Amino acid sequence: MAGRKAGTRREPVFGVSAGPASDIRVSREDRPAPGSAGGGKSGDKSGNSTRREPAASSRPRRSNRKGRSKGRLRRFLSRSIYWGAVASLWVVIAGIAAVFWVGFHLPPIQSLEIPPRPPSVQIVGADGTALATRGEMGGVAVPLRELPPHLPLAFIAIEDRRFNYHFGFDPIGLARAAAANLANLGVAQGGSTLTQQLAKNLFLNQERTYNRKIQELVLALWLEHRYTKPQILELYLNRVYFGAGAYGVEAAAQRYFDKSARQVTLAEAAMLAGLVKSPSRLAPHRNRAAAERRAEVVLAAMVDTGAITQAQAKTALTAPAKAVRNVTGGSINYVADWIMDVINDVVGHVDQDLVVETTIEPVLQAAAERALVGELAQRGEKFRVGQGAMVAMTPEGAVVAMIGGRNYSDSQFNRAVSAKRQPGSAFKPFVYLTALERGLAPDSVREDKPISLKGWKPGNYTREYFGPVTLTQALAMSLNTVAVRLTLEVGATAVARTAYRMGIASRLDPNPSLALGTSEVSVIELVSAYAPFANGGMAIAPHAVMRVTGANGKVLYQRKPQHLGRIVDGRYVAMMNAMMRETLLSGTARKADLGAWAAAGKTGTSQDFRDAWFVAYTSHLVTGVWLGNDDSSPMRRATGSGLPVDIWRNFMKAAHQGIPVAGLPGLNGGAPVTASMHANALPGRAEDMVDQPPGLIPPERSATAMPVRAAPPARGGGTSNLDNWLVDRLFGRQ
């Protein structure tokens, strides 16, 4: 206790003389309100005591907080407006800079000139008939004053209603298009003016970039400055693309309606104006319903703009425009595309209008199309055949007809030129020709029996074998084992060389399966390679272009007679013609017989019925037919002796109407070809056993042969012709 009394603890003293503690004061606001804890009971009952003042003094503090909030909002708005103005200014500056940058990278304005109309390439047949037009084609420019008024008005109504009022760029039209696109959540309208479209067509490509769009705008402003509205409209109408290779209203009117643009009706004008939006999708010859619906939209727009009355629109709707069927919409397009692929090699870069005179005969082209397309329409589904191709040429190589597919509108891929397919047994003539040139003869005998090459067992279609048969019999019957044995005798490399010499250009794998047509070739190659059999053994080059003339009729190219030399001795040509003649008389292609006309050829069917071929010839024409599916899926037992033979026969009968009958080289009533015609006709000479099998050849790479359901021939040598029993039983199978 004593220590505690003597301690240094001091209690706070509140008062004036309290020293440092005198700074601590209790303000009136800090005092408790009446009735609160520690507040006592003093004060009047009316509540006017000074102890209520703290509540009164708190109201101004809330007002200060509201004031501060309003101040912050005002500062935020002012700053937003300020920085928004700054950002807008920079956007404007950036836009101006972009325009100047694009303008700087454009050619100098003074050097800009309206480019000449794109050149056109007119392709005509052997009889002078116009077949197709290719290139960036433009019809003859038609002055605006010569067009019916409703034609330009249709384009203005649907493409650029404010054409007569804007200066190349239409902000109102652009805003309207943007609103429509936003409302439709997609691209419903375009904002380009006719002048911008013209600038794009004249000077720019179709690339969709901001840079190109700015260039388009700059060029449109220049066009508006340089030309009058009527001049711009006239240029536009004569340059715009209408699909199907037609540039300009004149070309489009001729293409779709077979008349001049000067003569189009209101309904036709509406259809033409509607095409510009999507030329391919709205082409009337491909999608008539869509083209008519679009034309209705154009007519409605013309009514809205006052270009026509409601009555005129109603009249046009009751008689909509109808596109005419044009020859360029059919199979001739495959020919035209092929010619355009080689035209640069003939005359170089196309910078002027050209007329290309070809060897194509329109009558034969139409006959080939009817034969192929008609047969597939009737029986293609039954045999699960999706596509076909056909080439017909003279023995000298002049192509007179070409079908590259079933329907050009559906597929522009030219299967006659670009597709490579396995020829199957149609390749065997090169095996037999090699054998003849190595010393064998048509009546030389070889054994038809099973053969095995390191696990590969090529067999005949029905696995039936006939023992000793002549080469003529083996080729007519399309016996696989004999073809493979001959290839082993003469060498696969020798067979490949023979095929190359005859006209095959594709890569050939020199192995025993080559005899069965496992290396892929094109239709035009195979037909070309058969041509020397028809012309007596001379080399040919397939061709279709005879003459090319340019502006003012100047001849730029004239095909001269080509003498490429003999590639097959006449003796072997005669032998091969005699052997392949039997294929049509008594073998797999007996249905192809043309009566008085001597014809020869070979059928072919690849593994699992993926390809069906027939290539055959007279002294007048060499024609090949291929059927199959683009994805190489199997057909339903379609063989070369079936549909291809029927198509070939139907075409060749039409092609030989009125043509004087002529025989094949070596088959003009002369003596039969026998082994005595060749001094070295010794079968199986050791020196001819050149190549041995390189190894295992997968069975799936082999081709099939025809099913033969006949008794084997009597043993003891061959004959120059098939026996009667074989003639009666051997037909229509590959």
3-class SS letters over 549-618: ECHHHCEEEECCCCCCCECCCHHHHHHHHHHHHHHHHCCCCHHHCECCECCEEEEEECHHHCEEEEEEEC
pLDDT for position 182: 64
d(CA 163, CA 170): 8
pLDDT tier at 518 (50, 70, 90 boundaries)?
very high
Q: Does residue 193 carry a pLDDT above 80? A: yes
Q: Does residue 448 carry a pLDDT above 80? A: yes
At residue 543, φ and ψ (nearest 5 deg) are: -155, 160
At residue 390, φ and ψ (nearest 5 deg) are: -155, 140
* Range picked from 136-150, 203-217, 327-341, 606-620 for highest mean pLDDT: 606-620
List the beta bridge partners of residue 447.
468
Cα-Cα end-to-end distance for the chain: 135
pLDDT tier at 162 (50, 70, 90 boundaries)?
confident
442 or 53: which leads in pLDDT: 442
pLDDT for position 722: 29
Q: What is the mean pLDDT of residues 146-166?
A: 93
d(CA 459, CA 184): 66
Residue with tokens 């392709």: 123
Lowest pLDDT segment from 113-117, 580-584, 682-686: 682-686
d(CA 308, CA 325): 29
Task: Kindly state the tokens that stand for 598.
Answer: 């001597």
d(CA 446, CA 263): 73
Q: Which of 120, 192, 331, 425 is catalytic?
A: 425
Angle between the 229-239 and 194-203 helix axes, to the nearest 10 degrees?
A: 50
The DSSP code sequence of 14-64 is: -STT-GGGGG----GGGSPPTTSTT--S-S-TTS-SGGGHHHHHTHHHHHH
pLDDT one-digit tens code per residue, 539-572: 999 999 999 998 778 999 999 988 899 999 999 9
Q: Is position 425 annotated as part of the catalytic site?
A: yes
pLDDT one-digit tens code per residue, 215-265: 778 888 888 888 999 999 999 999 888 887 788 898 899 889 989 999 999
Classify domain 370-541+563-729 at the CATH topology level: Beta-lactamase (3.40.710)
d(CA 725, CA 711): 8
pLDDT for position 716: 31
d(CA 603, CA 730): 14
Q: Is position 506 annotated as part of the catalytic site?
A: no
Helix, strand, coil in percent for the chain, rounding step 5: 45, 10, 45
pTM here?
0.64
**What percent of the chain is predicted at pLDDT more than 70?**
74
Q: Does residue 609 carry a pLDDT above 60? A: yes
What is the chain's length? 734
pLDDT for position 636: 94
Task: Kindly state the tokens that stand for 141.
Answer: 């420019």
d(CA 523, CA 538): 20
Lowest pLDDT segment from 150-164, 207-221, 426-440: 207-221
Q: What is the mean pLDDT of residues 618-643?
A: 95
Q: Alpha carbon of 228 to those of 112, 157, 168, 234: distances in Å?
A: 16, 19, 11, 10
pLDDT for position 436: 97
The residues, ordered by sequence, that sit 6+ positions from 244 with a Cβ below 8 Å of its Cβ are 255, 256, 279, 283, 285, 328, 329
d(CA 711, CA 723): 11
251 or 116: which leads in pLDDT: 251
pLDDT for position 178: 62
74 exposure class (CB count in 10 Å sphere: 0-12, 13-18, 19+) = exposed
d(CA 212, CA 105): 11
d(CA 402, CA 626): 12
d(CA 271, CA 264): 10
DSSP structural state of residue 211: H
Task: Kindly state the tokens that stand for 277.
Answer: 């939006």
Lowest pLDDT segment from 41-55, 96-110, 154-168: 41-55
Lowest pLDDT segment from 491-505, 557-571, 674-688: 674-688
d(CA 389, CA 387): 7
H helical segments located in 288-331: 288-305, 310-318
Q: What is the mean pLDDT of residues 347-354?
A: 81
529 or 677: which leads in pLDDT: 529
pLDDT one-digit tens code per residue, 459-485: 887 688 999 999 999 999 999 999 999
Lowest pLDDT segment from 42-46, 423-427, 561-565: 42-46
- The answer to whether the beta carbons of residues 392 and 363 sit under 8 Å apart is no
Name the nearest CA neighbour of 440 among 674, 667, 721, 600. Answer: 674
Name the nearest CA neighbour of 681 among 433, 429, 488, 437. Answer: 437
Q: Is 411 helix (H, G, I), strand (E, B) or coil?
A: coil
Q: What is the mean pLDDT of residues 684-700?
A: 28
Task: Kindly state the tokens that stand for 293.
Answer: 């619906």
Q: What is the mean pLDDT of residues 148-171?
A: 90
127, amino acid identity: D
pLDDT tier at 62 (50, 70, 90 boundaries)?
low
Q: What is the mean pLDDT of residues 294-314?
A: 96
- The answer to whether the beta carbons of residues 102 and 214 sit under 8 Å apart is yes
The DSSP code sequence of 632-698 is: ----SS--TTTHHHHHHHHHHHHHTTTPPP-PPTT-SS-PPP-GGG-TT--TT-GGG------S---
pLDDT for position 678: 37
List the beta bridge partners of residue 355.
122, 549
Q: Give the chain's mean pLDDT.
A: 80
pLDDT for position 534: 97
Q: Which CATH class, in words, describes the domain spanning 138-329?
A: mainly alpha
Q: Does residue 32 carry a pLDDT above 80? A: no
115 exposure class (CB count in 10 Å sphere: 0-12, 13-18, 19+) = exposed
Q: Which of 120, 159, 250, 268 is catalytic?
A: 159
Name the nearest CA neighbour of 491 among 425, 427, 434, 567. Answer: 434
Q: Is 456 helix (H, G, I), strand (E, B) or coil?
A: strand
d(CA 207, CA 212): 7
pLDDT for position 155: 96
List the beta bridge partners of residue 388.
627
Helix (H) or strand (E) holding 70: helix 59-105
At residue 485, φ and ψ (nearest 5 deg) are: -60, -40
At residue 600, φ and ψ (nearest 5 deg) are: -145, 155
The DSSP code sequence of 190-209 is: ----HHHHHHHHHH--S---
pLDDT one-digit tens code per residue, 372-424: 999 999 999 999 999 999 999 999 999 999 999 999 988 889 999 999 999 99
pLDDT tier at 330 (50, 70, 90 boundaries)?
confident
- The answer to whether the beta carbons of residues 638 and 379 sit under 8 Å apart is no
